[in-house]
Chains A and B, each alone.
Chain A
Amino acid sequence: MENFEFINAIVLLANFVLVPALSYGSQLALATLSLTIVYGVLRFSNFAQADWMSFGTMAAILFAWLFQSIGITAGIFPTALLALPFAIIVTALFCLLIDRSVYSFYRKQKSQPIVLMIVSVGVMFILQAIVRFIIGPNDRKFFDGEKYIIHALDFKNYFGLEEGLTIKSTQLITVIVALIAMISLFYFLQKTKLGKSMRAYSNNEDLALLSGINPEKIVIVTWIISSILITTAGVLYGLDKSFKPFTYFNLLLPMFAAAIVGGIGSPIGAVIGGYVIAFSEITLTYAYKKFFVYLMPEHLEPSGLMQVLSTDYKFAISFIILVIVLIVRPTGIVRGKII
């Protein structure tokens, strides 16, 4: 019996902490990668990045609706996955259009990063307006296909436990897609000539020019990669939870926190940072009462919720981590650039 209590406690944590944090962490890692790559190569903090996430997800939803209306679905997989490549193309094209019409002007002036940052706030407002104009501000669920891989009820019955483990298909899809995206990105940056030239440009712009690397090409590739990552992150997040422009905008803080925790400008750091923030948010806002009920003898059982912070404060966690990192180790975990 003792043993079962312990297993129940573990399953409980896996179900409510480990699995959700892994999938949220993967989504955040992808989003942070796009933020950090724009920072590393184009040298400014892009405040519009969370709204690019909204824009990309909106594009995917519209394509998914279109596909559904003409009877195309992906069977057990969500239709949005089919729509993803098309959404990426639309997002990348629009991103390049914005670059041509807005950012390139300031690049030619050799504007300071702070100027580009303010410009990105302007782009952010434009994107917010466009998204709300096209799809509206409401919460939308666009998930279809097979919902569960493991359902809590089946799990309980099968193992004869009190606690069940649920793994939603979106969670598994998230982790797999994120893994593929990260591996391809690292392969691209480390092994291909174009990827190496991006790192070279990010490291030493003048010397890159002197090596014949064309900065305009690097800028285009950077925006395309950023669009791929951010649209994928947005669609995965939306499939897992739901799509609401304001919720997406709120992800800007965890994204920046993750980028800075990991070391801004460093892709590895972005991945580490994404998981650190996700796990901190979820472990600190989870109510551990039931967990302790399983583990403690009856007379020692806690009476409170055993929750460090209420879920209402989850953004405070990103903020606190951000402040601590900036004070204690401004370069982040992996030595990145100091903002």
Chain B
Amino acid sequence: MTKFLSCTNMTGGYGGEDIIHSCDIEVDKSQIVVIVGPNGAGKSTAMKAMLGMISLKEGNLILDGSDISKLSPQDRVAAGIAFVPQTMNVFSELTVEENLEMGAFLRDDNIQETIGEIYNLFPAMKDKRNQLAGELSGGQRQQVAVSRALMTRPKVLMLDEPTAGVSPIVMKEIFERIITIKNSGVAIVIVEQNAKQALNIADFGYVLVGGENKFSGEGQELLKNQEVRKSFLGG
């Protein structure tokens, strides 16, 4: 039985040497999958590959039973995958509310309800809705980035380091929100530097090294694995 989103045997890079090699990442509905690994391991690259932002030499990408490997990034977004990139993940010259509207660009129905839900999820967004996203603090900006992605009402949400540069308290808050989103039935893939905390909320985890799957397993299982602890979690 294949998972809801199943990306297997992905090999490719940015045109030069291959960055990821036969990399597998799979996620099911109402599941959090966490990808950890050292800097430069190819975590962001794997995510971009899943979205079609780089072209792969090999790889099988199946979403809900249908092949998406030939689709453009926009079409994958339309098919239900939302992505929050690691850097430049908000429209800095647009207001918070305009960021949300752009997130819902493909939708023709009334988006006010979704905006309301997001303001409930991130109350800080509501107060800042007319401020430029570029003028927000790092943590608030991450919230805008996640909110923009949620506006499409995605089936799969992919987050590249959503807690980069935010305080432990905001990090905890963002993780809590991610769990709420998961419980609403969304499949979630997260790349994280805060490996311990992330694996704690993960249903499944991958350790990526040199563009390859080095370890994989349930979150708790990886946390207990001696080798993983020694090399990536700091003992």
Asked whether, in the complex, the Cβ of B101 is within 8 Å of the Cβ of A196, the reply is yes
Also in contact, A210 and B73, with CB within 8 A (given A200-B91, A203-B92, A204-B88): yes
Q: Closest CB-CB distance, A224 to chain B, in whole Å?
A: 19
Select the residue from B82, B105, B106 with max chain A CB neighbours within 10 A.
B105
| Chain B 90-134 near chain A by CB (<8 Å), digits 1 or 0 | 111110001001110110000000000000000000000000000
Encoded as 1 (CB less than 8 Å from any A CB) or 0, chain B from 67 to 101 comes to: 00000011001100011010011111110001001
Q: Which of B85, B94, B149 contacts A196 (CB 8 A)?
A: B94
B51 at interface by CB-CB < 8 Å: yes
Contact of B102 among A206, A213, A214 (CB under 8 A): A213
Interface string of B189-206 (1 = CB under 8 A from A): 000000000000000000
**Residue in B92, B93, B102 whose CB lies within 8 Å of A211:** B102
How many angstroms between the C-alpha atoms of A200 and B78 in the bound complex?
18
Q: Are A209 and B74 in contact (CB under 8 A)?
A: yes
List, in ascending order, chain B residues with CB within 8 A of A214's CB: 74
Contacts of A219 in B (CB 8 A): none
Query: How many angstroms between the C-alpha atoms of A204 and B106 in the bound complex?
Result: 17
Does B88 lie within 8 Å of A206, measured CB to CB? yes
Instruction: Please give, as numbers and ranges, the residues of chain A lying within 8 Å of B83 by CB-CB distance.
Output: 210
> Shortest Cβ distance from B49 into chain A, in angstroms?
14
Nearest-CB distance from B81 to chain A (Å)? 9
Interface size of A by CB at 8 A reads 17
A207 contacts which of B74, B78, B88, B106 (Cβ < 8 Å)?
B88
Q: How large is the interface on B (under 10, 10 to 19, 20 to 34, 35 or more residues)?
A: 20 to 34
B155 adjacent to chain A (CB < 8 Å): no
Tell me if A193 counts as interface (CB < 8 A to partner B). yes
Chain B residue with the shortest CB-CB distance to A190: B98
Contacting pair A197 B74 (CB below 8 A):
no
Q: In the complex where A210-B77, A211-B103 touch, is A199 in contact with B88 (Cβ < 8 A)?
A: no
Interface residue? A208 (CB, 8 A):
yes
**Binary CB contact string for chain A from 261 to 280 against chain B (1 if under 8 A, 0 otherwise):** 00000000000000000000
Question: Known: A196-B101, A207-B88. Is A212-B106 also a contact (CB below 8 A)?
Answer: yes
Task: Determine the distance from Cα of A37 to Cα of B113 in the docked complex, in whole angstroms.
Answer: 33
> Quick one: CB contact mask for A5-22 with B, threshold 8 Å, 1 for yes?
000000000000000000
B74 touches A203 (CB 8 A): no
Evaluate contact between B101 and A210: CB separation under 8 angstroms: no
With an 8 A cutoff between CB atoms, is B148 at the interface? yes
- Bound-state Cα–Cα, A200 to B134, Å: 13
Residues of B within 8 A of A210 (CB): 51, 73, 77, 82-83, 85, 149
- Flag if A206 contacts B85 (CB, 8 Å): yes
Contact of A197 among B89, B102, B148, B149 (CB under 8 A): B102
Query: Which residues does chain A contribute within 8 Å of B147, judged by CB atoms?
Result: none
B105 touching A207, Cβ below 8 Å:
no
Are B91 and A212 in contact, CB atoms less than 8 angstroms apart?
no
Specify the chain B residue showing the minimal Cβ separation from A209: B73
Residues in chain B near residue A207, CB distance under 8 A: 85, 88-91, 148
Known: A204-B91, A206-B85, A207-B91. A196 touches B152 (CB 8 A): no
**How far, in angstroms, from A137 to B189 measured CA to CA in the complex?**
63
- A200 CA / B94 CA spacing, docked (Å): 7
- Interface residues in B2-32 by Cβ distance below 8 A to A read none
Residue of A at shortest CB range from B52?
A: A209
Q: Which residues of A lie under 8 Å from residue B51 when comparing CB positions?
A: 210
Q: Chain A residues near B106 (CB, 8 Å)?
A: 211-212
A194's nearest neighbour on chain B, judged by CB, is: B105
Q: Does B94 lie within 8 Å of A212, measured CB to CB?
A: no
Residues of A within 8 A of B89 (CB): 207
Q: What's the Cα separation between A209 and B148 when bound, in Å? A: 13
Which one of A202, A211, A213 contacts B148 once the chains associate, using CB atoms below 8 Å? Answer: A211
Task: Indicate if the CB atoms of B102 and A196 lie closer than 8 Å.
Answer: yes
- Check B77–A204 contact: CB distance below 8 A: no
| Chain B residues whose CB sits within 8 angstroms of the CB of A206 once the complex forms | 53, 85, 88
Question: In whole angstroms, what is the CA distance A311 to B101 when docked?
Answer: 50
Min CB gap B72→A, angstroms: 8
Verify B88–A213 contact, CB threshold 8 A: no
Q: How far is the CA of A70 from the CA of B78 in the complex (A)?
A: 52
Bound complex: CA A26 to CA B128 (Å): 36
User: Smallest CB–CB gap between A269 and chain B, Å?
Assistant: 13
Of A196, A199, A204, chain B has the most CB atoms within 10 Å of the CB of A204
Identity of the chain B residue whose Cβ is nearest the Cβ of A335 in the assembled complex? B93
- Listed by A's residue number, 23 A-B pairs whose Cβ atoms lie within 8 Å are A193-B101, A193-B105, A196-B94, A196-B98, A197-B102, A199-B91, A200-B91, A200-B94, A200-B102, A203-B91, A203-B93, A204-B90, A207-B85, A207-B88, A207-B90, A207-B91, A209-B73, A210-B77, A210-B82, A210-B85, A211-B103, A212-B77, A213-B102
Report which B residues bind A (CB closer than 8 A).
51, 53, 73-74, 77-78, 82-83, 85, 88-94, 98, 101-103, 105-106, 148-149, 152
Given A197-B102, A203-B94, 7 new contacts (CB under 8 A): A203-B93, A209-B53, A210-B51, A210-B77, A211-B148, A212-B77, A213-B74
Binding site for B on A (CB under 8 A): 193, 196-197, 199-200, 202-204, 206-214
